Amino acid sequence: MSNNDQSPDNDQSTENTLSKTQLKKQAHRLQDLAREIAEMPASKRDALDLPPALLAAIDESKRITSHIAAKRHTQYMGKLLANCDYQSIEQQMQQHEAKNAHFQVRDAIINQWLDAFKDHEKALNAHLYDTYPHETLNELRNLIRNYRKKPEPPHSKKLFKALRELDNQEPLPPVGQLGVEPG
């Protein structure tokens, strides 16, 4: 066979191959992903579906102190990621970040409620009684009373936790929607 003979298989393989620059960019991206996973707290990392070899490499990376050795080890972890389904791992991380962003927004609304309880308790209680079962609001009333007496951490944390539980049942609206001026 001569070099001029090109089979259809040969043409398809050249279309699917990446250039050297693209391969390097992908390798660097995977190394960054591996570094990000290694820097995560263990509780978040456990929520991801990671292969055992990568988990072992992450544990070993914690013991490496030399800069060059750490760089080589990050390259190794990137290579391990390339051999597994790294797209699904990235997707899981993005979903977790989106969930955290959602909780940050909800926490801001709950904090608005805490601030508004000082001056507009009647209007907020009216909304709560219209929206939620009365059985769940009895304890909340006591927490609000204690919070109004002493708006300090033990009472504010308990009230925040109770409001978060209500928010998980049905999202609390921003206090501005209830005709109450926030904070």
Report pLDDT digits (tens) over 69-91. Answer: 999 999 999 999 999 888 988 89
Count the Cβ atoms, other than its own, within 10 Å of residue 162: 19
pLDDT digits (tens, 9 = 90+) for 3-62: 454 444 444 454 568 899 999 999 999 999 999 999 988 888 888 889 999 999 999 999
CB 116 within 8 A of CB 175: yes
In this prediction, residues 104-122 reach a mean pLDDT of 82
Count the Cβ atoms, other than its own, within 10 Å of residue 165: 12
Six token digits for residue 25: 């960019």
- Non-local (6+) Cβ contacts of 111 within 8 A are 160
Mean of per-residue pLDDT scores for the chain: 82
* Distance in angstroms (rounded) separating the CA atoms of residues 93 and 35: 13
CB 147 within 8 A of CB 156: yes
Q: Is the pLDDT of residue 2 over 90?
A: no
CATH 1.10.60.30 maps onto the chain at 19-84
| pLDDT score for 182 | 61
| pLDDT score for 16 | 67
What is the percent of the chain where pLDDT is above 90?
Answer: 29
| pLDDT score for 76 | 95
| pLDDT score for 148 | 80
Query: Domain 19-84's class?
Result: mainly alpha
| pLDDT score for 11 | 45
Q: pTM, whole model, 2 decimals?
A: 0.54
Count the Cβ atoms, other than its own, within 10 Å of residue 116: 20
